[in-house]
A and B are shown apart, each in its own frame.
Chain A
Amino acid sequence: MTTTATHTGNSAGRGGAGDAAHWARYERGATLRVAGVAGAGALNVDGRRAVGPLQGFGPLWEKTYRVRLAGSAVTPAALIATWKARFPAFWPAGNRFCAPPGGIAPGAVAVLDLGLPGHLPLSTGVLVLYADDESFTLMTPQGHLFSGWITFSAYREAGGGGGTVAQARVLMRATDPLYELGLRLGGHRREDAFWRHTLAALAAHFGVAAPVEARAVCLDSRCQWSRARNLWYNAAIRSAAYRLAAPLRRARGAVARAAPLAGRRRGARPGDVRGGARCSR
């Protein structure tokens, strides 16, 4: 899988720009690139820009989900290493994550298939904005349900038992008016359920059954109407349209296969092609 943002290599230490190795590399005008994965996900990621919470439409939310792994000896670094390596394994069923070949590393781009209510498909992706030993942050592309980033981290809790706490913190705005409507009609609840499930599954992996604490703060209740035009990239609409057009693509493929061998590329198959990326769940 090729990306426009790549790992910058190891840094010498914490002085100066000691974090350089942990950030995706910036290139002016760069867009996300996905190779080895076709279909709606790639269509909704390839050529898109990564967007942050300032580029979204709806109110700005900060949502924090935490689970305390009391009684487990897992260190924050070990927890994050596991979380990166098995990221989709902790997700609820019905959602798919196509990991980049190099795994979750700065600059990597992953394709997602998310299950929405009514079996509506949503194929989109994420950019690994930042990753170090104790945290990693995913940033969304244009068209994703929300504009922003999610930081997954683990830390030692001060005081008390001093156990490891796993946390997912979302900083997001709904990307466009349609998504904002969806959030208000139950989307927030579904998102909560998604991350509660994920953190509970992560804790269970380390042998801990613990409640997930959730806290949502609306940092800015205003909608950014100038961003309503984000609707053009809405991945849910484009994913649905892509799937509706599947019969046409199959018909085109059948015609292409029935055509004489001369002038036809061997092995060329329209429709979904998977390669390079590993898709789970």
Chain B
Amino acid sequence: MSQPPATMDLRRPADGVGVVDIRGDFTGDAEAALMDAYARACAGGARALVLNFGDLAYMNSSGIGLLVTLLIRVDRRQQRLLACGMSEHYRHIFALTQLDGAIGVFDTEAAALAAAGAP
């Protein structure tokens, strides 16, 4: 039985940085919400986007595919994409799919924000 897609709440903890809190099931159905959050972050002048996976319940391979699509958009705008709050399981998935070479992975939001150059 399908679960509702993940929710994406955008925060702006610092100038130029957007944090997207991902909650729930991150599948292909989350595309609209993810891209909407990204668009709002860009509208707010974000130079870096941090994806907070701390409350992620589930991710399938379609969800990983969304991250590739997002990464291309971020790269085209010369922005940075980072991730935080990932369990070891999801870190392994990032490594298995070789996303960790393109998306900076950090233990905490504070570390991700520091890497993003947030004051």
A199 interfacial contact with B, CB 8 Å: no
Q: How far is the CB of B48 from chain A (nearest CB, A)?
A: 19
A26-B93, A28-B95 given; A54·B68 CB < 8 A: yes
Q: Within residues 69 to 98 of chain B, which ones have a CB less than 8 A from any CB in chain A?
A: 69, 71-72, 75-76, 87, 89-90, 92-93, 95-98
In contact, B58 and A14 (Cβ under 8 angstroms): yes
Q: How far is the CB of A32 from chain B (nearest CB, A)?
A: 12
Assembly CA distance A107 to B95 (angstroms) = 14
In contact, B65 and A149 (Cβ under 8 angstroms): yes
Q: Within residues 6 to 65 of chain A, which ones have a CB less than 8 A from any CB in chain B?
A: 14-20, 22-26, 28, 50-55, 60, 62
Q: How far is the CB of A5 from chain B (nearest CB, A)?
A: 8
Assembly CA distance A129 to B97 (angstroms) = 8
Task: List the A side residues contacting B118 at CB < 8 Å.
Answer: none
A192 interfacial contact with B, CB 8 Å: no
Task: List the B side residues contacting A66 at CB < 8 Å.
Answer: none
Task: List the B side residues contacting A50 at CB < 8 Å.
Answer: 96
B108 interfacial contact with A, CB 8 Å: no
Assembly CA distance A139 to B1 (angstroms) = 25
A137 interfacial contact with B, CB 8 Å: yes
Task: List the A side residues contacting B69 at CB < 8 Å.
Answer: 62, 219
B101 interfacial contact with A, CB 8 Å: yes
Measured CB to CB, the nearest residue on chain A to B65 is: A171
A24-B96, A52-B97, A220-B72 given; A19·B59 CB < 8 A: yes
In contact, A151 and B65 (Cβ under 8 angstroms): yes
5 contacts between A and B (CB under 8 A): A14-B3, A17-B89, A26-B92, A51-B98, A220-B76
